Amino acid sequence: MSLDTVLTPPSPNLPAPDRSVLFRRLVFAAIGLAIVVPVVLLMRWDWLPDYLELFAQGIWTSIWLTLVSAGVGLMLAIPIGLVQVTGPAPLALVAKGFCTVIRGTPLLLQMWLLYYGLGSLFPEIPWIRESFAWEILRQAWPYALLSLTLSYAGYEGEVMRGAFASVPRGELEAGRAFGMSPFTLLRRIWLPRALFQALPTLAGETVLQLKSTPLVATITVIDVYAVASRIRQDTYVVYEPLLLIAVLYMIMTLILVRAFAWLEARVPVKRG
C-alpha cells in the first residue's frame, strides 16, 4: 500500500465509529507507541538541538520549491495541454514533444543537465556575468526550481490535455449556444471544468513533486534531505536524521493531501 492511499482522508459522511473501529484504533495506537517509545529512548537524538534552525530552513526550502514549481508548472501545463486539444498542429506538436522528452527522461538527469550544462555555460558569456541576473544565476536554486517546474509542466501538461479533452462536449456547446465568445468559454467553463476534473490527479502529482525535491540536494541546494546528509557527515549519526525527515515528509504530504481534499470537496462535480 502506498503512502498516498494510507493518507487519503476519510470521506465526510463516514458513520460514527463503532466498537470494532475503536478497537482497531487502540491497536494502532499501541503499535505506534511500541515504535515511538524505543525510538525516543534507545536512539541518539542529542544532535537535534544544534540543527533545529537548519531543519527549519530545509523544510522551508522543500515547501517553497514544491509550491512554486507546482504553481508555475501548472501555469505552463494549461497552455501545453490546451494546444494539444485545440491545435494549431505545429504548436500541438511542440507541446507533445516537450511532454514526451520530460516524461521520458529522469528528473535527476534534467536537473544535472541544467545545472552542470546551462549553469556552466553562463559564466563563459561576458554580458551575463556583468548583468544583474548573475547574482541569481550563479546560485544553485534557480536550476533546481527550473528543472522541477519544467518537470511538473511536462507531466501535468499531459494531465491537462486529458482533462480538457474530457470536458463533456455538451457543456461547451451550451456555452456557445448562449453567446459566449471562445475566450469567455475557455475562462468561465472549459478551464475551470478541466481543472476540477484534474484535481484528484494533480493532488497525487503534487505529492510526488514534494517527494522529488530531495534531488535538489545533488546540486547543492539545502532542503530537508540535505540537512540529514549534513548531520550524517558531521556526527556519523545515520538512521535518526533519516527517520526524522521521513516523519517530516509524511507531515508535509498529509497537509498537501488535506488541502487538495478541501479544494475537491468545495466543488463536487461528480456525485459521491
Partner 1 sequence: MTMVETAVAPDMPGSAIPDAPVAVEVRDLHKSFGQLDVIKGVSMTAREGDVVSIIGSSGSGKSTFLRCINLLEIPTSGRVSVGGEEIRMKRDRHGQPVPADWRQVERIRTSLGMVFQSFNLWSHLTVLQNLIEVPVHVLKTPRAEAIERAEALLARVGLADKRHVYPAFLSGGQQQRAAIARALAIQPKVMLFDEPTSALDPELVGEVLKVIRDLADERRTMILVTHEMKFAREVSDQVIFLHKGLVEEEGHPGEMFRNPRSERLRQFLASTQ
CB of 167 to partner 1, least distance (A): 9
CB of 196 to partner 1, least distance (A): 5
Stretch that binds partner 1, among 116-124, 147-155, 183-191, 218-226 (CB under 8 A): 183-191
Q: What is the rounded radius of gyration, in angstroms, for the C-alpha atoms of the chain?
A: 23
Residue 87 interacting with partner 1 (CB under 8 A): no
Residue 196 interacting with partner 1 (CB under 8 A): yes
CB of 262 to partner 1, least distance (A): 16
Longest dimension (CA), the chain: 73
Q: Residue 52 or residue 177: which is nearer to partner 1 going by CB?
A: 177
Segment 163 to 182, residues that bind partner 1, using CB under 8 A: 168, 170-171, 173-181
Q: Residue 15 or residue 170: which is nearer to partner 1 going by CB?
A: 170
Query: CA–CA separation, 210 vs 190, rounded Å?
Result: 28
Segment 248 to 267, residues that bind partner 1, using CB under 8 A: 267
Q: How many residues bind partner 1 (CB under 8 A)?
A: 23
Return the number of other C-beta atoms located less than 10 Å from residue 101's C-beta: 12
Residue 88 interacting with partner 1 (CB under 8 A): no
Which residue among 13, 52, 127, 270 contacts partner 1 (CB under 8 A)? 270
Query: CA–CA separation, 45 vs 51, rounded Å?
Result: 11
The secondary element (H helix, E strand) that includes residue 126 is helix 126-130
Q: Give the CA distances from residue 30 to residues 23, 34, 35, 255, in Å, rounded to whole numbers and listed in that order.
A: 11, 6, 9, 24
Rounded to 10°, the helix 89-104/141-166 angle is 120
CB of 74 to partner 1, least distance (A): 17
Report the alpha-carbon angle 234-240-245, nearest 5.
95
Interface contacts to partner 1, rule CB under 8 A: 168, 170-171, 173-181, 184, 188-189, 192-193, 196, 267-271
